[in-house]
């Protein structure tokens, strides 16, 4: 790996091979590149179509997720499958992060996105595809997924992905999922599309409504039903909304029934039965780093406490303990510790520095609490700790320990905010909502 750190693998014409200070540019052909691809820095300079095919080929490779792939010129897929123009310094952060990952990560797509913070899962408008929109990265890394949107929703629900910019909302055929639909106005009686519109008149005298041509068959305009002469609009008659008539069954109506006809498979559907999809871009969610690094590295940007449990387990345990304490008149304490300015810290010091900080933070925090206390990293920057059978007389001692603990934080950017809540309580009916409300107090 070390000999690749300053090697730029160039795919293009030899005469176009660029030179950069501190880098050795190695010319490779398409058949050779996979041999060097793990953790490599690649620069492509090919015609548009060939470049897009090469981008797809590199990502499809077993280790394509681990590389940095740059392009000299934009192409149709370069915004979705490349890192843009060559950035000589970006390899440092990329290499540091890559060293923390297994060579077979839990999810290659998430691993690829995590290696550089500028990366995102972007949606591409593709009119050659019947779905109209697609995610090029998702198609490559999860091509076997029959329902890619269920995969995206799963990652959203588990906070592994987070939606960013909204792009479009499209209705799709319920049969073949095509976005190519023709919306047809049909007769609500016989469902044919063979209908026409006409201007109608409404007689105030008898209330008759009919085609305006029926009112003008005589020398003067008069109602064909009661023969009243109609002279003044608004007094003798008016013009209601445009009317429609069916050429098949002669039914007259003011509102047509809209049917969606699929241009791909010819299935006809009501508009209510169409699949509605919201297309947006995505970035990594707050749980992605933990998901990728757990069991792969000693440096995890999440708390690694002996008594730590997952949020769902913590919620269930809190609900159970609250009910038990209400029944047996026990006193418990819920403690919240929030790290402030995490975003500013990672922006200034880098994500690797935050990973290392969290490892030390876990070790120091472990010394404060009892082995019977249960902790949970409820959010990326928020730790919740349940202290069962807590003696309120010990609260001042605990506050002193936490104040001393806060002094151990060496960063001038990071700060701690601590809150506590006495248990049991009577309003803890929906634990998730209750904890979210408490989290919002910081």
Cis amide prior to 139 (ω within 30 degrees): no
For residues 278 and 193, is the Cβ–Cβ distance under 8 A?
A: no
Last residue of a domain, one of 236, 271, 306: 271
CA dist., res. 202 & res. 22, Å (int): 85
What is the tally of structural domains in the chain? Answer: 3
Is 277 within the bounds of a domain? no
pLDDT at 145 over 50: no
Are 48 and 159 in a shared domain? yes
CB 44 within 8 A of CB 12: yes
Task: Please check whether residues 425 and 304 belong to one and the same domain.
Answer: yes
**Residue 24: inside a domain, yes or no?**
yes
Residue 4 has pLDDT above 70, yes or no: no
Q: Which helix (H) or strand (E) holds 125?
A: strand 124-125
* One domain for residues 407 and 345: yes
The answer to whether residue 297 scores a pLDDT higher than 50 is no
Strand partners, 417: 338
Residue 289 covered by a domain: no
pLDDT at 209 over 90: no
Asked if 52 and 77 count as a contact pair (C-beta separation under 8 A), the reply is: yes
Per cent of the chain over pLDDT 90 is 44
Instruction: State which H helix or E strand residue 323 sits in.
Output: helix 311-328
Mean pLDDT of the chain: 86
Rounded to an integer, the average pLDDT of 111-120 is: 95
Domain membership of residue 173 (yes or no) is no
Closest by CA position to 340, among listed 418, 251, 394 = 418
Specify the CATH number for the domain of residue 338: 3.30.70.270
DSSP state of 36: G
**Contact yes or no for 182/255 (Cβ under 8 A):** no
Residue 93 belongs to a domain: yes
Q: How far apart are CA 83 and CA 422, in angstroms?
A: 50
Give me the DSSP letters along 415-436. Answer: EEEEEEEEE--S--SSHHHHHH
Q: Is the pLDDT of residue 223 over 50?
A: yes
Q: What is the DSSP letter of 242?
A: P
Query: DSSP per residue over 267-291, as a string?
Result: -EEEGGGSEEEEEEEEEE-TTHHHH
Q: Among 37-41, 118-122, 242-246, 317-321, which stretch is predicted with the lowest mean pLDDT?
A: 242-246
pLDDT at 348 over 60: yes
Task: Check if the beta carbon of residue 368 is closer than 8 Å to that of residue 405.
Answer: yes
The contacts of residue 66 (CB under 8 Å, 6+ apart) are 37, 38, 39, 40, 98, 101, 103, 111, 112, 115
Are 27 and 151 found together in one domain?
yes
* Whether residues 327 and 429 fall in one domain: yes
Same domain assignment for residues 129 and 228:
no
Backbone angles phi, psi at 227, to 5 degrees: 65, 15
Domain co-membership, 15 together with 149: yes
Q: Would 278 be classed as within a structural domain? A: no
Select from 135, 165, 195 the last residue of a domain.
165
Mean pLDDT check: name the lowest of 106-120, 239-253, 269-283: 239-253
For residue 64, the Cα-to-chain-centroid distance in whole angstroms is: 23
Mean pLDDT confidence for 164-182: 93
Are 359 and 395 contained in the same domain? yes
CA distance linking residue 397 with residue 230, whole number of Å = 94
The tens digit of pLDDT for each residue in 355-400 reads 667 777 877 788 888 888 998 888 878 889 999 999 888 888 888 8
pTM for this structure? 0.63
Q: What is the mean pLDDT of residues 390-417?
A: 85
User: In degrees to the nearest 10, what's the CA dihedral of 348, 353, 358, 359?
Assistant: -170
Angstrom distance (rounded) from CA 86 to CA 11: 13
Claim to verify: residue 207 and residue 121 sit in the same structural domain: no
Could you tell me if 374 and 309 are in contact, meaning their C-beta atoms sit under 8 angstroms apart?
Answer: yes
429 φ, ψ to 5°?
A: -90, -40
Of 275, 295, 305, 326, residue with least CA distance to 429: 326
What is the signed CA dihedral for 184, 190, 192, 198, rounded to 10 degrees? -80
161 with 193, same domain: the answer is no
Q: Is residue 243 part of a domain?
A: yes
CA distances from 217 to 40, 221, 227, 283 (A): 84, 8, 11, 68
Residues 160 and 185 both lie in one domain: no
Whether the per-residue pLDDT at 284 is higher than 50: the answer is yes
- Tell me whether residue 56 is in a domain: yes
Domain range for residue 265? 181-271
Q: pLDDT category, 133, cuts 50, 70, 90?
A: very high
Q: 10 Å Cβ neighbour count for 4? A: 18
pLDDT of residue 188: 92
75 and 107 share one domain: yes
């Amino acid at each position: 790996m070390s000999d690749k750190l300053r090697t730029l693998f160039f795919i293009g014409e030899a005469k176009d091979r660029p030179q950069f200070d501190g880098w050795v540019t190695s010319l490779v052909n398409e058949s050779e590149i996979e041999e060097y691809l793990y953790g490599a820095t690649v620069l492509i300079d090919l015609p548009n179509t060939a470049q897009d095919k090469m981008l797809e080929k590199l990502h499809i490779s077993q280790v394509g997720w681990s590389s940095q792939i740059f392009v000299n010129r934009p192409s149709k897929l370069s915004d979705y499958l490349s890192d843009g123009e060559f950035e000589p310094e970006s390899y440092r952060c990329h290499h540091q992060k890559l060293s923390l990952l297994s060579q077979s990560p839990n999810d290659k797509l998430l691993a690829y996105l995590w290696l550089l913070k500028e990366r995102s899962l972007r949606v591409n408008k593709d009119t050659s595809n019947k779905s109209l929109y697609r995610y090029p990265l998702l198609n490559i890394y999860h091509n076997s997924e029959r329902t890619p949107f269920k995969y995206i929703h799963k990652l959203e629900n588990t906070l592994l992905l987070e939606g960013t910019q909204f792009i479009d909302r499209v209705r799709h055929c319920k049969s073949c999922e095509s976005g190519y639909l023709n919306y047809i106005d049909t007769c609500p009686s016989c469902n044919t599309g063979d209908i026409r519109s006409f201007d109608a008149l409404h007689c105030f005298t008898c209330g008759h409504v009919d085609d305006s041509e029926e009112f003008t068959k005589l020398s003067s305009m008069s109602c064909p039903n009661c023969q009243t002469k109609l002279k003044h609009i608004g007094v003798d008659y008016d013009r209601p909304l445009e009317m429609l008539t069916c050429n098949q069954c002669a039914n007259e109506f003011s509102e047509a029934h809209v049917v969606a006809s699929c241009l791909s498979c010819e299935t006809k559907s009501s508009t209510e039965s169409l699949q509605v999809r919201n297309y947006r871009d995505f970035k990594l969610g707050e749980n992605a780093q933990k998901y990728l690094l757990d069991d792969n590295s000693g440096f995890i940007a999440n708390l690694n406490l002996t008594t730590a449990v997952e949020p769902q387990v913590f919620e269930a345990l809190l609900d159970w303990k609250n009910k038990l304490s209400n029944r047996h008149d026990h006193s418990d304490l819920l403690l919240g510790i929030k790290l402030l300015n995490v975003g500013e810290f990672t922006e200034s010091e880098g994500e690797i520095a935050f990973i290392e900080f969290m490892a030390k933070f876990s070790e120091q925090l472990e010394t404060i609490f009892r082995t019977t206390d249960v902790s949970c990293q409820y959010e990326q920057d928020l730790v919740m700790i349940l202290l069962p059978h807590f003696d309120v007389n010990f609260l001042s001692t605990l506050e002193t320990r936490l104040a001393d603990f806060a002094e151990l934080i060496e960063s001038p950017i990071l700060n701690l905010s601590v809150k506590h809540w006495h248990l049991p309580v009577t309003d803890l009916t929906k634990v998730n909502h209750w904890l979210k409300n408490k989290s919002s107090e910081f």
